[in-house]
Amino acid sequence: MPPLAPCAAPWSDSAMGEKIWLEYDQAALDAAYDQRVWCPDQPAWLARHRAETEVARAALAPAVVSYGPHVMDLYAARGRYRGLHLHIHGGAWRVNSRADAGFMAEALTAAGFDLAVPDFSLLPGKRMPEVVEELRACVRHLAGHGPLHISGHSSGGHLAAVLATECPFASATFISGLYDLEPVLLSARRHYVQLTVEEAHALSPIRHVHRITAPVLMAWGTAESPEFIRQGQEMAKATGAQTFVLQGQHHFETPYALNAGPLHEALCALGDAR
């Protein structure tokens, strides 16, 4: 990837109508990074994620494990053991928690994975470099518990990809994520994702793919924002990932690919390859 174009920090607003990223003016780019535009029933889907997580927690009784100032839900594997799977929740880096992100626990534990779903600080209460450091501590805490796999959805896909550039995972699965922060910081998200140019470069995993040692699985839906699709395609090309294009699925459907289907089967195969 080329270096980020010089830009003063903080990132400044552009006049409406002026092209600021590819073919996008400010309004179009803001819409491209606003999930409400692409999935108007977003609240119902988020409620479903939480309700299904509550069911999983009640049925599987995960241990609540502390790491640093935070905790994680740790669901125990059942059957033939395939390793420990760390899943990073999405929420535009500023909402959601482990209480919204355990809805894949039944499927993954039945497939032989321990599943860790951590809480971590949210923006803008903490800055993104601090959040990444918290998740590094989570990875360190889990090291030594068996082969460690990682996945993330949306902003969690970004954070998982950042960690994959730094840590030796057995596999890395990125679902509907963001991998280059330059256009993100030109969109309306710049008002709470406040980074310097240097920090944005350091935290754009597509610019550091040579550091990823794990086999990579990637998925996105055809009903997502074209920017999320483009970012997924670019990251897949850069990493040589095995890709899963989820026909007709929007942003809040795609993480269910961890539960069943070709991506789930590929993840299980990587668990067997240890």
- Predicted pLDDT at 3: 39
Residues 146 and 272: their CA atoms lie apart, in Å, by 13
Q: Residue 181 is which amino acid?
A: L
Give per-residue pLDDT as tens, 49-60: 999 999 999 999
Give residues with Cβ within 8 angstroms of 82, minimum separation 6: 111, 112, 113, 147, 268, 271, 272, 274
- Predicted pLDDT at 17: 83
Instruction: Kindly state whether residue 12 falls inside one of the protein's structural domains.
Output: no
Instruction: Kindly state whether residue 2 falls inside one of the protein's structural domains.
Output: no
Instruction: Kindly state whether residue 4 falls inside one of the protein's structural domains.
Output: no
Label the pairing between strands 216-221 and 83-88. Answer: unpaired
Instruction: Kindly state whether residue 21 falls inside one of the protein's structural domains.
Output: no
Residues 266 and 257: their CA atoms lie apart, in Å, by 11
Give per-residue pLDDT as tens, 143-199: 988 899 999 999 999 999 999 999 999 999 999 999 999 999 999 999 999 999 999
Given a cut of 50, is residue 66 above it in pLDDT? yes
- Predicted pLDDT at 53: 98
Q: What is the CATH number of the domain that holds 231?
A: 3.40.50.1820
pTM for the full model? Answer: 0.94
Give the neighbor-by-neighbor strand order of the sheet with 83-88. Answer: 63-67, 70-75, 113-118, 83-88, 148-153, 171-175, 216-221, 242-246
Instruction: Kindly state whether residue 107 falls inside one of the protein's structural domains.
Output: yes
Instruction: Kindly state whether residue 1 falls inside one of the protein's structural domains.
Output: no
Give per-residue pLDDT as tens, 229-254: 999 999 999 999 999 999 999 999 99
Give residues with Cβ within 8 angstroms of 28, minimum separation 6: none
Half-sphere exposure of 91 (CA within 13 A, CB side): 21
- Predicted pLDDT at 145: 85
Which residue range(s) make up the domain with 90?
Answer: 26-272
Q: How many domains does the chain have?
A: 1
Instruction: Kindly state whether residue 238 falls inside one of the protein's structural domains.
Output: yes
Instruction: Kindly state whether residue 204 falls inside one of the protein's structural domains.
Output: yes
